[in-house]
Amino acid sequence: MDRDPRTSDLDGPDRLDALLMRAHRRLGTAVTDRLAAQGGPPELRTPDLALDRLLAATHRAVGTAVSRRRSREARAALARRDLAHEARLAERGPLSNRPSPVRVKYRQQALRLAHRYWPADLAEGMRVAVRLVQNLSDLLEDTARTVVDAASVVEQLREHLRELSRMPKPQRSPVTLTGLDYLVAVESALAEPAERLLHDLHRIRQLLDEELAPAIATLEPATPAYQFGVDAIAQDLIDDLTQGCDQADALAKAVAEVERASSDFVGADLSTAKLDGVRLEGILWDDTTQWPGEWEDLIRRASLPSGEERGVLIVAAEPSDTVIHAQA
């Protein structure tokens, strides 16, 4: 069989499938030409008839083998997609169970709320605060260092905690299960962990201002800090900050859930959604997502592979020049 440039660049199973399909097609053509012939069916002799039957049987066998192989691979691909879809569903929280048209309609407002409650990486900010207190404890163990050095670290910690506390006052209203109260549910999901984090930050700042700072002010040069109980207060502060880290992590999870509910529309039915004026950049979707008829081509042209998993696309900022199919 001569070399086909269309299959020479393929590897593994893809090249085998291409070669089998090409052989199947050429063998079918040969069988058809031999049996039909120009000018009508030929008069076959016994060896010719045996050869024709062998070629026809081979043609059918190759066709059956190719069909079975492709069916197996198609079933395996569907099974992998189903597993990925089940894993995605398992990751979704209560907000993602709200109606898809409601989530896409209010996605900008929901993302704005998430940004208000998470203006920066608060979890990392809490861990930085823990490291500052640990550095302060190490400094206090060095009697050669001055009280001024310790006071400087305290002031740095105070300013850092003040920055972390600049969050909106949490607002929570009774939540119902209607789509009209979706934004209420979003803010409630964010407000609960934010409220706990703010409470911990308030207590930590009180401990810093009312106990640790005054205790450091009483220190005398070359005197161990433990004689003034400063090390014990510093350890209490570390414990409280560690608990605050847990609250910051809980808020991070809530923010991630809002972002997921606002952007993950893989398998969603958006056929009845009103998309005029909705910012669609960043939305994830696949070939099972249903769009309003007049929007489907536009969404497809404006999408690129997300890189998260096979078949999942993301609506890009600018439309692309080519159509990328969700099955790719």
pLDDT at 246 over 90: yes
Higher pLDDT, 161 or 43: 161
pLDDT tens by residue, 302-328: 999 887 777 889 998 644 444 444 443
Model pLDDT, residue 215: 84
pLDDT at 289 over 50: yes
Of 127, 265, 105, 251, whose CA–CA distance to 191 is shortest?
251
Mean pLDDT along residues 60-79: 72
Angle at 206 between CA 200 and CA 208, to 5 degrees: 105
Percent of the chain surpassing pLDDT 90: 38
Lowest mean pLDDT among 26-30, 215-219, 260-264, 280-284: 26-30
Question: Contacts for 324-327 with beta carbons within 8 Å, 24 or more apart?
Answer: 324/300, 325/287, 325/300, 326/285, 326/286, 326/287, 326/289, 326/300, 327/287
pLDDT at 286 over 60: yes
Mean pLDDT along residues 236-258: 94
Most confident range (mean pLDDT) of 17-21, 198-202, 218-222 is: 198-202
Q: What is the pTM of this model?
A: 0.67
Model pLDDT, residue 307: 79
**Cβ contact 104:290 at 8 Å:** no
Model pLDDT, residue 257: 94
CA distance 3 to 220: 89
pLDDT tens by residue, 81-135: 666 556 655 566 789 889 999 999 999 999 999 999 999 999 999 999 999 999 8
